[in-house]
Amino acid sequence: MREIGHFVGGKEVKGASGRTGDVFNPNTGEVQASVALAAKAEMEQAITNAEAAQPAWAATNPQRRARVMFKFLELIQKDVDNLAKLLSSEHGKTFSDSKGDIQRGVEVVEFACGIPHLMKGEYTEGAGPGIDLYSMRQPLGVVAGITPFNFPAMIPMWKFAPALACGNAFILKPSERDPSVPMRLAELLVEAGLPAGVLNVVNGDKEAVDTLLTDPRVKAIGFVGSSSIAEYIFATGSAHGKRVQCFGGAKNHMIVMPDADMDQAVDALIGAGYGSAGERCMAVSVAVPVGKKTADTLIEKLIPRVESLKIGPSTDTAADYGPMVTRAHLDKVKNYVDLGIKEGAMLRVDGRNFRLQGYENGFFMGGCLFDDVTPDMRIYKEEIFGPVLSVVRAKDYEEAVRLPSEHDYGNGVAIFTRDGDAARDFTSRVNVGMVGVNFAIPVPLAYYTFGGWKRSGFGDLNQHGPDSIRFYTKTKTVTARWPSGTKGGAEFVIPTMK
């Protein structure tokens, strides 16, 4: 069986803790690899490597750091098919979806290639009599990222690309469920010219995470995962004096107005609700049709589409989506469907008993569609993270705005309408961090920032875009005066520029 260790000091090293986790093939249910779970001492060694390598990397000028990123992009493009196959084999998402996962990470690397411009400070000549004022952006030192299973290429690149470009050293703790792609990305970065030790990948569980949270050498931590763990990491990291950004769960709504193009709305719901088996933090999990007629028409059109979803192994290029990541997660999602029935929601399409011939032991589940879901139900309040779409009927536009605005999560929301005034009002008023207009998954491009509100996001700065540069740097401001030979004397009042 293949053994996966860690990537420390520019090379893969074996685990030393004696603890391991199983990496499954979601298509077959078989264990395909064993991943090492680091002990505290192993994580500390990775931090030591990063701390030793960081000063020289920070002293490398931004243009040369950008060249490493450009070379990294070139190597990824050459290896993209192999990366996508590897990703699919451990996560279960289809090959085309895996390539999309990689591409969205690549776009942040492309943004990070502009680091010579992005790190420029400000300068004011003559801010006062003979006084110049300027600011500089400097790296923090050793920083870390803790990333989830559902995007094993994209989110690690969202984290380490801007951090490395800014001159930091980086410790990546990826999900132990699908660790091979992050390991391969580290290899490609070293091949691209990144000095050994500047990026270290340490696989592990809570012991590894807690070491990152408490070690004073780690100056900042980024996290993506569930809200309960995000809150824990934010609180613990902050208590230990670290800069922390954490992104948690979601319950993304899509409002369907009576004037919407219904076929367009249904296409959007099918893709955004069931793509990647619903294992996306930006998946639409709640449809909110406005008015009874809109709701009845939407349900009528959704049912046959959900029933006809093509579910297949990740190697099937014609599949709409593949298996879920583990049997434990599959069982969790099925339990939510059971709960929804008990709570009184109407299950219009039941995919719990789906079996794929030849892959009976795989982690597959058919699409589920609930109608008549109400805000007091747990299936509405909690993130399911599977191929389950809930329809919550709104009597009018005001109720449709209120539903996502009052929900505990505030990651993404969308409205489908032909009315520009309604769309403009909605985008202004809705209490959610990312909004789509006739666009179901409103993930901003790399030069904007990505981040949710409420229990979907903890911390002041978002992922990628300008916020990532602010997060991974500290600003130093210099006030300089060069004496002209005129004697002044002591000043006992606070300096002013009058």
Instruction: Give strand pairing partners of 479.
Output: 133
Cα separation values, 168 from 221, 333, 430, 463, Å: 12, 39, 37, 16
How many angstroms separate the CA atoms of 266 and 308, rounded? 13
Q: How many residues does the chain have?
A: 498
Among 309, 336, 326, residue whose Cα is nearest residue 362: 326
| CB-based contact 90:180 (threshold 8 Å) | yes
Could you count the other beta carbons within 10 Å of the beta carbon of residue 357? 5
Which residues are marked as active site? Answer: 281
| CB-based contact 400:304 (threshold 8 Å) | no
Long-range contacts of 74-80 (CB under 8 A, 24+ apart): 74/192, 75/188, 75/191, 75/192, 76/102, 76/106, 76/109, 76/185, 76/188, 77/106, 79/184, 79/188
| CB-based contact 407:386 (threshold 8 Å) | no
Instruction: Write down the residue that tokens 């539903």 correspond to.
Output: 403
Give the pair of three-digit tokens for residue 128: 């006062």
